[in-house]
Amino acid sequence: MPTKPFQNPADDSADPVFDQEQSHLAETYAKLRQIGRALVRKMERAQREAAADKKAMAEELAPNFATYADAMETYADFAAMNRVIDGYNLAQDADAAELAKVELLLKQPYFAKVALQFKPGQEPKELYIGTAGISDENYRRLVVDWRSPVAETYYNQDNGRTSYVADGRTITADLKLRRQFDIEEDRLNAYFDTTVAIQDSLLLASLSKQRTAQMKAITATIQKEQNTVVRHEDVPALLVSGIAGSGKTSVLLQRIAYLFYQQRGSLDPSEVFLVSPNPVFSHYIASVLPDLGERNPESLTWDEFARRLLPPDRGSGRVDVPLAALARIDRAVESFEFDANDFKDIRVDEKRLIAADQIRKLADKLGRIPAGPHRITLMREELHARLESRLKQMAGTDEALDELEALEADEQLRIFGELIAPTDEQEERALALCYLTDRCADAFAAVENDDWLRIDRIGMRLLETDGLAPLEWLYLKMALTGLGNPDAKYVMVDEVQDYTAAQLAVLARYFRRANFLLLGDPNQAIAPDTAAFDEVREVFQAARGAMEECRLMTSYRSTPEITALFASLLPPEEQLQVSSIQRADEPPALRAFDDDAAYADALRAALAGARAGEGLAAVIVPWKHEAKRLQQLLGEDAPPLLDEHDELPASGVVLITLKLAKGLEFDHVVVPDASARVFPSDDLSRRRLYTTISRATRRVDVLAKGPLTPLLDGFGKETS
């Protein structure tokens, strides 16, 4: 089918197709509003009925505990009332979820349409595809969810014979029409018919928009190579290698939304973890999944992950630990046995509750079981029991009773939920035990977290070393105790090239039952000693047994001119594979200055141009000390320096380090000093410059104080 350009209501010529689609949109929108109003009325009615039923049941319920039989009948009545209440709650939750879908669709009811002919001579079936799926009261599909199997015909197939898999069956059809829409609420701005996704005007229109403070979903414009990742079969480990601007992060988020749809009812956001490069990035992507009607998974940086598991005084520390060191730990633990000095007291407020020697004796008692997670679990359970027994003993002492009596009113309310006035010795002891349990919460936490083990000493003895790096300490604790999250089902690691092999091995072990999605670009590895992709494969093949891979080689972020500039920094064989889908725009400006004053003037002029332009611009420097140097040079003219806890503004100019700029994009990027001093001719500098330039979507200014970096030899440049 030939392509049809966008049709716009401003056109003078009448377009019956446009009128037909506008009419269908208006009808669908009205139906959505009708469904929404009906759901609100239903929920309000159910709420009134639930309140009336609960009141009636409460009035009829006469608790009677006189005999065992009476008590059992009373409990049965309570259970019946709770079942009725649970039934109301479940119905309300279902209606609330349906109402949330309606509210989402009222912003944009759908974005695409396909016409599928399932049998020759049969009238094609028209399906409208949107962010969520919904049916009317007669179960007629108004909108098909973009994640449904049939929607793949829109994302992944050209017109003509096609197929998709639903409920294990392969269904074939002829794709007669693939239509895209530009819609706002009940207004159709334009439509477009196309046979090839990558040539569509909807995509180009979307890409031409200014960058925003937060990433937007790409649901309507997912391309064929991206869709391969989004809908990839569930595998233990999937590695996605993509050039800068290929939509890796967007694909990751769409993949999460797809998994939630595929496993609705069984996959909870608490079972999905996103390891992000920095907090700025986490803020940047925070609205994508909620805009798709899904809850965000837990997002955490490596530092946040490590801080939760390491002692407070350690920090995240060195991560450039060789894999061989972790292998040594695994081997050492296999034949490990405790000695008398491997344990420490469990204390609260300098009071010893369980002595280290008692823990040693417990370890000896279980000596027939190998020293490892199983023995640690048994010891942990026994220590919990002993701690509870110790507090029961303490609850009867004068010291504990005196402390209970001296409690301030606010502490009583916090611990007991009310002011206490014990009437006898038994009640007083029970309250004292409750108080001690609260006061000794850290002791219970120490037992649960295995803080009674001297991991440092064990490690130094096992590895014959004077000390452990934090990452080694953490890995050893996991190997000894079984520390980890066995409930996680998926872990997504963005910018995987910025992690060491040891960090990835720790994540693979900690989330031992999870499937991993790893996305990155080896050419964006901006720190030394991080894992090459061969090492990534080695880690996950060892941990998961197999790894599948996908590649994304099209830039959707940058203009062809900018793409050509950063692609010139790739190895020759990779340059030929890179392409841009963006419209042509102005070429990058490369200028070198021998004179310091001329350089400063040019930098101020570039910043003035960035401030005058629309959208968000960034001055990106490799390190924080270069940012300080720039601030000293520019004084009041310097843009504000973005901190890791800051959020991106919607517009203006920011000064940002490359580490924080990872994963972000800007309408305009200024590289303030791409000199040979800052970017010498080595592989690490090449990757840093590639990453810096590729943050830009429309415009790049590359300046140099002194000779321009030899990494850009071959590109036209001005010298002043």
pLDDT score, position 209: 58
CA atoms in the 13 A half-sphere facing the CB of 234: 11
pLDDT score, position 215: 78
Please compute the mean of the pLDDT values over residues 420-442 and round it to a whole number: 93
pLDDT at 719 over 70: no
587: which DSSP letter?
A: P
**H or E segment and range at residue 566:** helix 560-567
CA atoms in the 13 A half-sphere facing the CB of 102: 21
pLDDT score, position 207: 54
- Label the pairing between strands 4-7 and 187-193: antiparallel
Q: In whole angstroms, what is the distance from residue 296 CA to residue 217 CA?
A: 13
Q: In whole angstroms, what is the distance from residue 291 CA to residue 400 CA?
A: 54
Phi, psi dihedral angles at 163 (to 5 degrees): -155, 160
Q: Report the percentage of the chain scoring pLDDT > 90.
A: 69
Provide the token pair at 376. Answer: 């640690």
Q: How many CB atoms lie within 10 A of CB 196?
A: 11
pLDDT score, position 566: 93
| Range from 4-18, 564-578, 607-621 carrying the lowest mean pLDDT | 4-18
CB 286, CB 214: distance < 8 Å: yes
CA 457 to chain centre: 36
Q: How many CB atoms lie within 10 A of CB 63?
A: 11
Name the more confident of 313 and 10: 313
Give strand pairing partners of 347. Answer: 352
Please compute the mean of the pLDDT values over residues 476-488 and round it to a whole number: 96
pLDDT band at 342 (very low <50, low <70, confident <90, very high): very high
Q: How far is CA 121 from each of CA 117, 118, 445, 450, 659, rounded to the nearest angstrom? A: 8, 9, 70, 70, 59
Burial class, 186, CB count within 10 angstroms (exposed 0-12 / middle 13-18 / buried 19+):
middle
Please compute the mean of the pLDDT values over residues 33-44 and round it to a whole number: 92
Name the more confident of 503 and 194: 503
Q: In whole angstroms, what is the distance from residue 153 CA to residue 114 CA?
A: 8
Q: Where are the alpha helices (DSSP H) in 219-322?
A: 224-230, 248-262, 279-285, 288-291, 302-309
The mean pLDDT value of the chain amounts to 89
Q: How many CB atoms lie within 10 A of CB 60?
A: 9
Q: In whole angstroms, what is the distance from residue 307 CA to residue 301 CA?
A: 10
- In the chain, what is the greatest distance between 2 CA atoms, to the nearest angstrom? 100
pLDDT band at 316 (very low <50, low <70, confident <90, very high): low
pLDDT at 238 over 50: yes
| Range from 212-216, 301-305, 676-680 carrying the lowest mean pLDDT | 212-216
CB 63, CB 76: distance < 8 Å: no
Q: Report the percentage of the chain scoring pLDDT > 70.
A: 91
pLDDT at 278 over 60: yes
Task: For residue 520, give the 3-state DSSP assignment.
Answer: strand
Please compute the mean of the pLDDT values over residues 255-282 and round it to a whole number: 93
CA atoms in the 13 A half-sphere facing the CB of 372: 13
pLDDT at 624 over 60: yes
Q: In whole angstroms, what is the distance from residue 128 CA to residue 111 CA?
A: 8
Q: How far is CA 505 from each of CA 310, 330, 462, rounded to the nearest angstrom? A: 16, 12, 20
Q: In whole angstroms, what is the distance from residue 7 CA to residue 189 CA?
A: 8
pLDDT at 11 over 70: no
Please compute the mean of the pLDDT values over residues 638-642 and round it to a whole number: 94
Task: For residue 550, give the 3-state DSSP assignment.
Answer: strand
Please compute the mean of the pLDDT values over residues 305-332 and round it to a whole number: 88
Provide the token pair at 221. Answer: 């414009």
**H or E segment and range at residue 478:** helix 470-481
Phi, psi dihedral angles at 667 (to 5 degrees): -65, -35
396: left (phi over 0), alpha (psi -120 to 50) or beta: alpha
Q: In whole angstroms, what is the distance from residue 396 CA to residue 404 CA?
A: 11
Burial class, 172, CB count within 10 angstroms (exposed 0-12 / middle 13-18 / buried 19+):
exposed
pLDDT band at 720 (very low <50, low <70, confident <90, very high): low
Q: In whole angstroms, what is the distance from residue 115 CA to residue 1 CA?
A: 13
Please compute the mean of the pLDDT values over residues 455-483 and round it to a whole number: 94
CB 592, CB 710: distance < 8 Å: no
Provide the token pair at 61. Answer: 């319920």
pLDDT band at 317 (very low <50, low <70, confident <90, very high): low
pLDDT score, position 75: 64
Q: Which amino acid is at 26?
A: A
pLDDT score, position 16: 93
Task: Mention every residue, 6+ apart, whose C-beta is less than 8 A from residue 344.
Answer: 356, 451, 452, 453, 454
pLDDT score, position 49: 82
pLDDT score, position 103: 94
Q: In whole angstroms, what is the distance from residue 718 CA to residue 636 CA?
A: 27
Give strand pairing partners of 169. Answer: 166
For residue 691, give the nearest of 589, 518, 567, 519 by alpha carbon.
Answer: 567
pLDDT at 644 over 90: no
Please compute the mean of the pLDDT values over residues 350-367 and round it to a whole number: 95
pLDDT score, position 214: 67
Give strand pairing partners of 704. Answer: 592
pLDDT in tens, 69-100: 666 676 676 677 677 777 777 778 788 888 99
Q: In whole angstroms, what is the distance from residue 506 CA to residue 471 CA?
A: 8
CA atoms in the 13 A half-sphere facing the CB of 430: 9
pLDDT at 194 over 80: no
Q: In whole angstroms, what is the distance from residue 36 CA to residue 377 CA?
A: 52
pLDDT score, position 579: 78
Exposure string over 606-630, b if 16+ CB within 10 A, otherwise e: bbebbeebebbbbbbbbeeebbeeb
- Label the pairing between strands 272-275 and 490-494: parallel
pLDDT band at 213 (very low <50, low <70, confident <90, very high): low
Q: Which amino acid is at 433?
A: L
Give strand pairing partners of 173. Answer: 162
pLDDT score, position 4: 45
pLDDT band at 208 (very low <50, low <70, confident <90, very high): low
Please compute the mean of the pLDDT values over residues 350-355 and round it to a whole number: 94
Q: How far is CA 631 from each of CA 590, 603, 604, rounded to the nearest angstrom? A: 22, 12, 12
Q: In whole angstroms, what is the distance from residue 573 CA to residue 84 CA?
A: 67
